[in-house]
A and B are shown apart, each in its own frame.
Chain A
Amino acid sequence: MSKIEVLSDAVADQIAAGEVVERPASVVKELVENALDAGATDISIALETGGRSLIRVIDNGEGMEREDALLAIERHATSKIRNAADLVGVASYGFRGEALPAIASISKFELETTPRSGSEGTRVVVSGGRVDAVEPAVRQSGTTISVRRIFFNTPARRKFLRSQAAETRACVDAITLLALARLDVSFKLTSDDRVLIDVPQAGSVAERIGGLFGREMAEGMIPVDHQTPTLSVRGYIQRPADARPTGRKAFLFVNGRPFKDPFLVRAAETGFRGAATPGTKPSMVLSLEVPGEAVDVNVHPAKQEVRFKDRYFLEKCVEEAVRGALSPVESAPGWEGGGGTVARWHGGTGFHASGSGAQDGVELPPSFFAPEEEGTVAPGIGELLQVFNTFIVCETSEGLTFIDQHSAHERIIFESAMRQLEGDEAVSQRLLIPITVDLNSNELEAVEAHSDVLASVGFEIEPFGGRTVMVHATPNPHPRFDAKACFEELATDLARERFGSLPNRLHRFAATYGCRAAVKAGQKLSASEMRNLLVGLFACDLPPHDVHGRPTIVRLQREELERKFGR
């Protein structure tokens, strides 16, 4: 007898199940994706004990004829592709034909379906991969799949299930992701009769974000819309000021399909650089649209990962998209934590992300990320008023804008310092009487280590024996610039900080220098100084955010003011 034998289908299914189905959440994901592929507009999911005892997905999709229903639980049986060529640029969620048989092979499985054609409904009962019953059933058109006692026949796997709360959370995450991708579908998730997600069909992503995460989160998001000839990046990112070091939510979609990619998330974070506190993790919902042939989604059984043809370009686009989104004034926070963007978030219904990804005969689902209206950016500068010697108030067509003079100036100096560090000329004022500064040994070391960048922004330093240095020339960014204090503070900061790689080091240096050289809160500014500050700020790349991730601008909408006065 030969040592090698072909495994029975049942065993093969169980093995496949290991790849596709690792926990209840993956069952939920597969089933809901099937429902979406079936054109459902209303999907409800019920869990019991975190999906261990029951996962039930009810949809109002197109349903199946009886013979299709039986085929569906056969491996590699699918309605979604017909041949290998269809795999290129596949647009439906599923296509491998693995999910249902895999799920059926490790659970007590029941499928009830009625096709739209009006034919009789069917109930298929499967237990551990064995078809126990096929019988007529009465049901409205659509499909209900109940998965009971998951992993009942694979005890090893059952042991690896985590706590009920953890498994429930994973299911919530899976639905959240799909709910973000499909605004045109209403989702309801209940766990032991507790409603966890209940979102109606949404007109805009903002609405859906609000439904899923709460109003506050939705109002703190900044729209992203970046187009290149070959791809587009749309979505929402969190305002840097709201970003926290933990609890980040990052959702990525490519051609409407959710996927995970830590490198793209990092690319997005790079876009935040210089506008968010290092270490904070801003949340994001980003949808990429790329030509079908530029992405391979068939690299992971659960389709969590995708492969891109030109990853470097893509990362660059994502970074640019984030930067671009941070740049308009609209990305500044509004009053009472509300976003100025909210007002513009209505309208913009879902749209068909057909184009690139769609194949003949396979309609890509209406995805989210409709192009949002363009906001009017350039604010006309009206009368300026300085309040508390700290903030500048100015009137714009939309309402009132409050500007933090220090943050704003910091942003201006930071950006010009970055340009100078990258090769632009800096102007350095020679001093009649050199400044002598006594440093401690750490500071001296830091100053020596940074002599090149210090020189780039205009400090001319000469050691003067011992721990004293002479500063012969300084930058002169504004008339109130206190060169000595700036240099001393800079030395202290540089001595305290550890600098990493070169771009990061320049970055941190420019941020530190910007902070120290900028006008401080509490300094009275003249009208022309305020004006110059505003002009300089709006000439920056990212005017609304300072280098620490705080806002430089807060806006009070005219409507808000009018509402307060009951007008």
Chain B
Amino acid sequence: MKFTVTREQLHEGLTAVAASVPTKTTLPVLSNILVEASDDGLRLSGTDLDIAVSTVVAAEVDEPGSVTLPAKKLVEIVRELPSAAIRITTAGEQRVNLECGRSKFRLLGVSKDEFPSFPPVDFEDHWKVTSADLQKLIGHVSFATSTEESRPILNGVLWELRADRMRMVATNGHRLAKMDVPLTSAGSTADLIVPPKALDQVKKVFGPADEIEIARSENHLGFRCGATRVFTRLIEGPYPNYDQVIPKGNDRIATIDRQTIMSAVRRVGVVASDQTHRVRLSFSPGTLQFSVNTPDLGEAQDEISISYDGDAIEIGFNANYLLEILKLMPTDEVQLAMQAPERAATIEPVGWDDPAAYLCLVMPLRLVD
């Protein structure tokens, strides 16, 4: 194998792929990047067996071939190289010489035969979405997935593809995020449960202007734009019926300035319990009061003006859940709708100038005496 590539090209390709390389693995070859030189250019691939990322960068290939190289070292070397042409040649099965200007490296790789092959996903039948839409969905929803391992379904993001819209939903059982984006190009209907880590990769690897093709096989999902591809294993099983738990009749509705409520929650949250992060919110017409009382630590009170004319209500929340949601709300004002202190509260943007629809839900914390 012999090829020449610019330092910038190689660096860009490696950066896209390196994120999918696991830092700790029991299978040593996974900490390597597969480098394949062919007439199409230079294909770089990395995987942790759940997610695979692969991309092609332009290169002058004199002699096709392939090898795997330690990802971390390769990235570090390329980062430190001067901006010049890099020439890579193999010497024997596993030895690689890398030259750039007067810098010379010799790296030991692992035979490509040990590198796991990519899941076969046929892009013949695919959906087309814009990267911008996808990024919007991922950015607003995937945070709400569960990290707790007992219910693997909740570790994934539900992605519903319909004729006229796509929707992502994520929940950990305590809070939920849901976003709809209208679709113009109709595709077939599908419900996919995708690991958030894969969605992260998708967000990173593809530019905002890209048009992404998405296709699925039995239990894998592929994303493709140009020569860059991301594959992921899908989580199997039925997603809980989230629609049923989203309250429709929340009639105590407050409209609140997002920054104001965020700073208040952050302030009083300082003295909230490290374990539960509980803050108490008391709504009365025109006013929202915050209070925190943590035994062994202290108390805090705060108050902000809001637009609210419902019955007074007192409700407790995990401050972190509130802040995570509020941070992602795309508008200056948000609407918080409640029904009772033990029922789910919903938070939605107010006056969002976007075809998308966004709703978050948070379950209250109760005090048991």
Interface residue ranges, A against B (CB under 8 Å):
420, 423-433, 455-458, 460, 473, 476-482, 484-485, 532, 539
Contact = CB atoms under 8 A, between A and B. Distances in A.
Contacts of A457: 368
B32 to A, nearest CB: 24
A427 B366 CA distance: 6
B171 to A, nearest CB: 6
Contacts of A539: 296
A425 B292 CA distance: 13
Interface string B355-369: 000000101111111
A455 to B, nearest CB: 6
Contact of A430 (B176, B273, B364): B364
B327 interface: no
Contacts of A428: 365-368
Given A432-B245, A479-B148, 6 more contacts: A423-B369, A428-B366, A428-B367, A429-B363, A432-B174, A476-B276
A428 B276 CA distance: 9
A272 B367 CA distance: 31
Contacts of B174: 429-432, 476
B173 A485 contact: no
A532 to B, nearest CB: 6
Contacts of B369: 423, 425
B344 A426 contact: no
Given A425-B367, A458-B368, A432 B295 contact: no
Nearest to B362: A432
5 contacts: A425-B295, A427-B367, A476-B365, A478-B275, A482-B148
Given A425-B367, A432-B363, A433-B245, A532 B274 contact: yes
B342 interface: yes
Interface string B223-247: 0000000000000000010100100
B171 A432 contact: yes
A539 B295 CA distance: 12
A431 B242 CA distance: 12
B150 A484 contact: yes
A312 B316 CA distance: 44
Contacts of B148: 479-482
Contacts of A479: 147-148
Contacts of B31: none
B20 interface: no
Contact of B365 (A429, A432, A456): A429
B329 to A, nearest CB: 19
Interface in B296-355: 296, 316, 318, 342-344
Contact of A432 (B318, B342, B361, B367): B361
B250 to A, nearest CB: 14
Nearest to B343: A430
B278 A431 contact: no
Contacts of B318: 429, 476
B167 interface: no
A473 B173 contact: no
A484 B151 CA distance: 9
A460 B341 CA distance: 14
Contacts of B147: 479-480
Given A481-B148, A482-B148, A431 B366 contact: no
Contacts of A460: 366
B368 A426 contact: yes
A392 to B, nearest CB: 17
A532 B277 CA distance: 14
A399 B272 CA distance: 34
Contacts of A430: 174, 342-344, 363-366
Q: Which 5 A-B pairs have the closest CB atoms?
A: A430-B363, A482-B150, A427-B276, A426-B368, A428-B366
Given A425-B368, A458-B368, A482-B150, A432 B175 contact: yes
Given A433-B173, A481-B148, A427 B364 contact: no
A481 B318 CA distance: 15
Most chain A beta-carbon contacts within 10 A, residue among B240, B274, B364, B368: B368
A427 B363 contact: no
A537 B10 CA distance: 50
Contacts of B173: 431-433
A455 B369 CA distance: 9
Most chain B beta-carbon contacts within 10 A, residue among A428, A432, A457: A432
Nearest to A532: B274
B196 to A, nearest CB: 16
B222 to A, nearest CB: 30
A477 B277 CA distance: 11
A455 B366 CA distance: 11
A485 B150 contact: yes
A480 B147 CA distance: 8
Contacts of B276: 427, 429, 476
A300 to B, nearest CB: 48
A167 B316 CA distance: 70
A11 B150 CA distance: 82
A543 B156 CA distance: 38
B240 A433 contact: yes
Contacts of A426: 367-368
A424 B295 contact: yes
Nearest to B275: A477
B147 to A, nearest CB: 7
Contacts of A425: 295, 367-369
A431 B240 CA distance: 13
Given A427-B278, A479-B147, A484-B150, A432 B344 contact: yes
A482 B148 CA distance: 7
Contacts of B242: 432-433
A485 B151 CA distance: 10
Nearest to A412: B275
A481 B342 CA distance: 21
Contacts of A429: 174, 276, 318, 363, 365
Contacts of A476: 174, 275-276, 318, 365
A427 B240 contact: no
Contacts of A423: 369
Nearest to A472: B342
B150 A427 contact: no
A479 B277 CA distance: 12
A122 to B, nearest CB: 71
Nearest to B344: A432
A367 B211 CA distance: 89
Contact of B363 (A424, A431, A477, A480): A431
A427 B175 CA distance: 16
Contacts of B367: 425-428
A476 B174 CA distance: 10
Contacts of A485: 150
Nearest to A430: B363
Nearest to A424: B295
Interface string B155-193: 000000000000000010111100000000000000000
A481 B172 CA distance: 12
A132 to B, nearest CB: 76
Contacts of A432: 171, 173-176, 242, 245, 344, 361, 363
Contacts of A420: 368
Nearest to B146: A479
A106 to B, nearest CB: 65
A478 B276 CA distance: 8
B245 A427 contact: no
Contacts of A473: 342, 366
A120 to B, nearest CB: 74
